[in-house]
Amino acid sequence: MTERGRDALHRDRTTLSIGPSHIRWDDQAMIIEVDEVAALLPFRVRGRIRLEPQVLGQRRFRLDPSGRHVWEPLAPRARVEVDLAQPGLKWRGQGYLDANHGSEPLEAGFADWQWSRAHLAGGDTAVIYEGQLRSGDKFGMALRIGNDGNAEVVEMPEPVQLPRTGWWVNRLTRADAGHGARLRATWEDTPFYSRTALATRLFGEDVMAVHESLSLDRFRSPIVQWMLPFRMPRRG
């Protein structure tokens, strides 16, 4: 991932280009063409990701009382195909697409958050989002999103504390009362963020969940800000 200057950006109704990579809407699917150089080791990452929504979300949600931060589950359930030429990698399966946007930086509004998503057997998607605002207040919601894209706010399951990451980022998830959650894999482990695969139980079903923890206190610390350009090079 590379941070690029204003001249590297182009956007129209169906396409967003940033440098040599771009995203476009093609008929019923979102096509992501990736052409980048990895950091720290400079190897090429080139290929295509195709995301075809099976369900389109019908609501967006304010994450703070003033509405400065908005979250939207755009495609709670989707078919995803990954076809990379460099490195040679192919994958297909179930996926998910959401977006955050706001009028201030995330670290100005939040101290941390925990998020998880699981596909349920009947076609619904369970999403749990919670954390602490910069004001010190807590926020949280548990959603059950149906095949029609409508999101029902449901009672929050019980909290389950997960082991800290290798960088000592706190991880918290939710599960049905009397049940825990088991770490299946940690895909990303950074000084301020983790993405994890979980086996857990939600709404009466055993599920595989994707979970993320984000510490924005850690993100805005001077040492992490100093480290970021090594992993996310900045181009003028």
* Per-residue model confidence as pLDDT tens digits over 104-148: 999 999 999 999 999 999 999 999 999 999 999 999 999 999 999
Model confidence pTM above 0.85 = yes
pLDDT at 68: 97
Mind listing the pLDDT tens digit for each residue in 3-42? 999 999 999 999 999 999 999 998 899 999 999 999 888 9
Write down the pLDDT at residue 22.
97
pLDDT in tens, 191-200: 999 999 999 9
Average pLDDT, rounded, for the chain? 96
Q: Measure the CA–CA gap between 154 and 178, rounded to whole angstroms.
A: 18
Torsion of CA 143, 147, 150, 155, to 10 degrees: -20
Phi, psi at 179, each rounded to 5°? -120, 155
In angstroms, rounded to a whole number, what is the distance separating the alpha carbons of residues 62 and 101?
10
Annotated domain spans of the chain: 10-230
pLDDT of residue 112: 98
Instruction: Indicate the pLDDT class of residue 236, thresholds 50, 70 and 90.
Output: confident
